[in-house]
Amino acid sequence: MDEKEISVINIIPFVDIMLVLLTIVLTTSTFIARGTIPIELPRASIQESEILRTRTIEINSQGRLFFNGNEATLEDLPRQMEGVDRETPILIKADRDLTIQIFVDVMDSVKKMEFRRVSLQTESKN
């Protein structure tokens, strides 16, 4: 059986499909960009920014702890943080000359309290 060589490819159906897809993308993107999709959000008495306000733990070069600006001890830290939601971001600011053991003790204490969003603040080398 002899096969004929294809000398011409009809791309018109392909172009039609691409134009339809482009039309779909453009129409949905304009709804999203303009916000014209009518949605009424539920109301709450407390704003999310108030609920998940970042809490800070600062450790100076002498190893003294501060939770939200108030001095604390490692043993006192869980008591001060007991009313804080576990999804609240915790930012740890540790002095660069601090011994690593103090930092590890603070991280271990925060981990035992089951906080999920913990980060360490650093500076760039520039």
Q: What are the structure tokens assigned to 51, written together?
A: 């609920």
Q: Which domain holds residue 19?
A: 9-39
Q: Residue 2 falls within a domain, yes or no?
A: no
Confidence at residue 123, expressed as pLDDT on a 0 to 100 scale: 75
Convert the pLDDT of each residue in 66-109 to its tens digit: 898 888 889 999 898 888 888 888 888 888 888 888 888 998 99
Whether residue 92 is found in the same domain as residue 31 = no
> pTM value?
0.56
Sign of CA dihedral 26, 29, 34, 39: positive
| Residue 126 in domain | no
Residue 87 CA to residue 67 CA, distance in Å, equals: 17
Which pLDDT score is estimated for 95? 85
Indicate whether 62 and 104 sit together in one domain: yes
> Order of strands, edge to edge, in the sheet holding 55-59?
70-72, 65-67, 55-59, 90-94, 118-120
Triad 65, 67, 71: Cα angle to 5°: 55
pLDDT of res. 47: 55
Token duo for residue 59: 């450790």
The answer to whether position 109 is within a domain reads: yes
What is the count of structural domains for the chain? 2
Does residue 30 sit in helix, strand or coil? helix
Q: Is 62 part of any domain?
A: yes
